Structure 1
């Protein structure tokens, strides 16, 4: 009787221990693998998107370069796009890569073709050993050739005169910048902060926005996220100026504007604050506008 009770007691213990044992979290491990795979896919897609950009309606090469902080000339060279840098919706623009130099590859081929010519002068040197004394008489006539050499110098001095006339207009367009709007700076530039690529100037709604410097409008639209109604003007010395959060744009792409010309009416940022966001780019990179604007 005791043995029977003992066996029953042991069987109860075995059954209770089996019921308390939990199975391995197979579903959790599988779920973690799924998350890891999805994370890898998203990261690979992000890297791919950084290499190429698909042109949308309203995009220009300048706006794409502005958005990605790349000089428009660099984008044009990478994608073999020539002036006036026209792009079309659906076109894929590479953001990085090497520039193919076809012209430089052809030049060394022409130099290689001239190698056999170097063998013929060796034969000529053997035949012209005796007439080596003849070149001595030729330098005597050099003073006669000097007067004609002076004449082209006079002509070159005359040709440089129009170049002098072309240079003065350049500094006038690069004169001191002016403030694009009257108001107090409420947010300054900070290179280490992505959200502070320019300055914010407090303004009244529909206040006149002026071109800070003379140039050509290369973008006028609302296709850049976070900038609202945006105008970008190209200046000399590879400089760009940007005027964001306008209520109304008054200039179109390709239009030439003068310093102080009214180009837009000020609006509000996404939070509803009336202001003008102003940026200056040098070689595609943001720079501090306060270094250009008068104090």
Structure 2
């Protein structure tokens, strides 16, 4: 009986360790249950940052949850992640071209002025050696890493609206996300400081942040381009060096 009790105790310890291991890597306060298909909005979230986190099309996420432009979300709001399309949705109308200030608010959202429609013209956000190229296989990199000294200016790669500026997406450090025409987003991670705020409109070449240093001591900019929520290879869009 004593041996049986010891065995049961050992199994209990193992089970607890497995349970703890399953929790390793979650962000503090990260109220998400992907398996059950929902996400609870946290301070600093925007609809775009949530869609970015899960590789979803923000228009599809908004449609699933009955959220209309300018895509305002609220603290502790429960968003369904079920049946959210990972493929593009057609634009619902002119409002999709407005600046979408979906930062969590308690007051009525303000709709910014409409921007002129035009195709996206890309430029390099930072001139430096490409340290790590785009790859959707292992080791995965959903963008490119560009070498640069700490505090060098990071430039907007195209005209766009700032739809996220913060640091609550794990693995990206201080992150800026810009929304462009035709369903494109660009993301700028591992910043030392962010110089823009959500709702700003920036022109190509505008300084939006400064290069940071990672926990491992490397100085670089992480840059991504996404089309309708899906990562695409930035080197296909940026001018040839």
- TM-score (norm. length: structure 2): 0.74
How many residue pairs get aligned? The number is 201
2:33 maps to 49
RMSD over aligned CA atoms reads 2.7
Cα shift at 1:29: 4.5
Higher-Rg structure is 1
Q: Distance in 1 between matches of 2:183 and 2:131?
A: 27
Runs of 4+ displaced beyond 4 Å:
33-43
Query: Can you give the 5+ residue segments of structure 1 that lack an aligned partner in the other structure?
Result: 1-21, 100-168
1:237 maps to 182
- TM-score (norm. length: structure 1): 0.61
Q: Distance in 2 between matches of 1:97 and 1:25?
A: 47
1:156 maps to none
Q: Could you give the per-residue CA deviations for residues 82-116 of structure 1, whole angstroms, max 9, x where no partner exists?
A: 111111111111111379xxxxxxxxxxxxxxxxx
Q: Retained in 1: the 8 A contact 2:163–2:177? A: yes
Is 1:32 aligned with 2:18? no
1:255 maps to 200
Structure 2 counterparts to residues 170-181 of structure 1, below 5 A: 170-171=117-118, 173-175=119-121, 177-181=122-126
Change in 2 beyond 3 A, CA 1:203/1:91: same
Q: Which structure has the highest helix share of the two? A: 1
Q: Distance in 2 between matches of 1:270 and 1:245?
A: 10
Q: Distance in 2 between matches of 1:293 and 1:178?
A: 6
Cα shift at 1:182: 1.0
Q: Which structure has the highest strand share of the two? A: 2
Is 1:209 aligned with 2:154? yes
Cα shift at 1:25: 3.8
